[in-house]
Chains A and B, each alone.
Chain A
């Protein structure tokens, strides 16, 4: 997209009007021209800068040709509001193990398009990891005599920034709904635990904490000025340590220092999250420019 934007620097000015700041360029030009037509208010405002003394009275404009559009206020401001967002999530691209999470996000909007917040997602529901997916892991063990190291997840905790570059509205019958799309990303931690596959009779593991990153994009639809529905795509990435695929011979088999792989593997998992957002305070006031 960036390449395209570079290739087409004269991208079109879209024509939908949403906010006080947005005025169609073509329609705005006559307002600029009015400066040379002797607008009285502008002359009064500019009076202090005029060092050439009293000026000749400007000719009175005979006809006002300006067309003024009244523009709707932004439906719901996010500025200085706290966003509480419970959500449910499921992973997309892990063929070995499904992960289902329930999450809660708290975001504070310090501008109307930028927020910082905490996001917590819990994945460990006490079920047998192999019952959550499929028969895929035992199947590849039977069919290929092959075991694959896999890790379970306990929770993720993130500090995220959210940026809203896109917003718009859509109409359903006679109702107009607002939507926005946002980019989200941050850093945090991910708690994971290797599932003993290669030597389950001897090996057992504890949860380990990994520094993790996440990026994503989402779509939010305002049901009211304080309640929204959202869905988002997230990619979670972290260096994870898996079970050692080699079993040490002899007494070293019981040495827990040999149970994990020596290095870390970079893990990138994608997921879909769906939830609702509650903006607090529920009511807000516009500060109109004077």
Chain B
């Protein structure tokens, strides 16, 4: 097995990146002189002609209403199943603004959660992290609801043919905005482990009572908060009727929360310092209804 020191690997990566830039720069410079884009290639009757005739304006000054189903991906402990809707208004065919919202209608525990539930072990050093393995799914952080506002750009569009028989228009929608997310996490608590002879118990942070032997009650206690986070993504849209289409969307919403309900900084407390960066992302399937239903076309 080839072994490279991290510094050597970094040098190789930098050299490779530089070489790639040189190659690409040379290729692009050469291309700019001959064929950097298509307009310089167009001659004869097409010179100066518009790039597209009778273009269907799927979005310009139209409202898109989209009910969707989504599920999160890349989760450590549980996957969210989301039902929601999205509304967008497009000022021109390539730009729009809209909002979306969804509610988590179900959770699917991941393989790791089931492993913890079946074979995790509790001892004094990890009692705060895992008071009871059987109830572990109840301490996992979850997202109850999702919403956001976003601006949408559609620079790519074209048409799609299936078997040279069925044609429909398609485009790619890039969007960025802000998300508002309802997070539910394990409530703040603190473990008292002053002496090894006294059974460990949890209390609210900074208090001595009430005592929760074995932290079993604290495992089930929940707290809720709203998180504001950036959101971005891309969507593939295909339109089958003047008023109907389908959207396949990926959306990323990175924010911090305590996914495992554990004492991640190992300070004997479950609190905001235990929140870890998570690249939350989801895949969405939606049905697009376009209003008004009548479509316009260019000349």
Contacts and interface: CB of A to CB of B under 8 A. Distances in A.
Interface of A: 1, 4-5, 8-9, 11-18, 24, 69-70, 72, 75, 86, 92-93, 95, 102, 124-127, 136, 139-140, 142-146, 148, 154, 165-172, 174-179, 207, 219, 223-227, 270, 276, 278
B226 interface: no
Given A18-B159, A144-B126, A148-B112, 12 more contacts: A11-B166, A14-B160, A75-B41, A95-B74, A125-B9, A126-B5, A144-B116, A145-B120, A146-B119, A227-B24, A227-B28, A276-B20
Nearest to A102: B16
Contacts of A146: 115-116, 119-121
A276 B24 CA distance: 9
Nearest 9 A/B pairs, CB to CB = A168-B158, A224-B31, A14-B159, A175-B37, A126-B3, A145-B121, A143-B129, A15-B54, A144-B120
A179 B158 contact: yes
Contacts of A176: 37-39, 51
A207 B2 CA distance: 13
Contacts of B169: 12, 14, 16
Interface of B: 1-6, 9, 16, 20, 24, 27-28, 30-31, 34-39, 41-42, 44-46, 49, 51-56, 73-76, 112, 115-116, 119-123, 125-126, 129-130, 133, 136, 155-162, 166-170, 172, 238-242, 244, 246, 260, 262-264, 266, 297
A224 B1 contact: no
Contact of B36 (A86, A136, A139, A224): A224
Contacts of B24: 227, 276
Contact of A93 (B4, B73, B125, B266): B73
B239 A92 contact: no
9 contacts: A8-B241, A11-B166, A13-B167, A75-B41, A143-B130, A145-B120, A145-B126, A175-B36, A225-B31
A98 B49 CA distance: 50
A144 B127 CA distance: 9
B126 A16 contact: no
Contacts of B129: 142-144
Contacts of B121: 144-146
Contacts of A93: 73-74
Contacts of A140: 112, 116
A12 B240 contact: yes
B242 A12 contact: yes
B130 A144 contact: yes
